[in-house]
Structure 1
Amino acid sequence: MPRIICPRCNRPESRCLCALIPRLPSRTRVLILQHPSEVNHALNTARLAALGLVNAELVVGETVDAALLDPPGYRACLLFPGEGAQPLAASSAGQQPMLLVVPDGTWRKARKLLHLNPALAALPRVTLDGAPPSRYRLRKAPAAGALSTIEAITQALEVLEAPASFQALLAPFDALIDGQIAAMGEDVYRRNHVQE
Structure 2
Amino acid sequence: MLVDINNPRVKCYQCIRPSSTCICEHISAVKTKTRFIILMHPKEYKKERNGTGYMTNLQLENSEIIVGVDFSDDTRVNELLDSNENSFLLYPGKNSFNLSQRSSAEMHDFIGKGAN
TM-score normalised by length of structure 1: 0.42
- One-letter amino acid of the counterpart of residue 72, structure 1: S
Instruction: Report % sequence identity.
Output: 34
User: 1:3 — aligned with what?
Assistant: 9
Q: How much has 1:35 moved relative to structure 2?
A: 0.6
User: 1:49 — aligned with what?
Assistant: 56
Q: Secondary structure at the match of 1:46?
A: helix
Matched, 1:59 2:66: yes
Distance 1:38 1:52 in 2: 18
Distance 1:91 1:21 in 2: 32
User: 1:82 — aligned with what?
Assistant: 93
Distance 2:64 2:30 in 1: 13
Tell which has more relative contact order, 1 or 2 (C-alpha 8 A, sep 6+): 1
Q: How much has 1:73 moved relative to structure 2?
A: 4.2
- 1:33 corresponds to which of 32, 36, 39: 39
State whether residues 17 and 50 of structure 2, in contact with CA within 8 Å, keep that contact through their aligned partners in structure 1.
Answer: no
Q: Label 1:73 to 1:41 Cα distance change in 2 as closer, same or farther (>3 A).
A: closer
Q: How much has 1:7 moved relative to structure 2?
A: 1.8
State whether residues 15 and 50 of structure 2, in contact with CA within 8 Å, keep that contact through their aligned partners in structure 1.
Answer: no
TM-score normalised by length of structure 2: 0.66
Flag structure 2 segments of 5+ consecutive residues without an equivalent: 1-6, 108-113
Aligned-residue CA RMSD in angstroms? 3.0
Distance 1:12 1:48 in 2: 15
Q: Secondary structure at the match of 1:67?
A: helix
Q: How much has 1:84 moved relative to structure 2?
A: 3.2
Distance 1:21 1:10 in 2: 13
- One-letter amino acid of the counterpart of residue 79, structure 1: L
Distance 2:12 2:43 in 1: 20
Map 1:134-145; keep pairs closer than 5 Å.
none
Distance 2:28 2:70 in 1: 29
Q: Label 1:87 to 1:80 Cα distance change in 2 as closer, same or farther (>3 A).
A: same
Distance 2:51 2:92 in 1: 21
Distance 1:43 1:58 in 2: 13
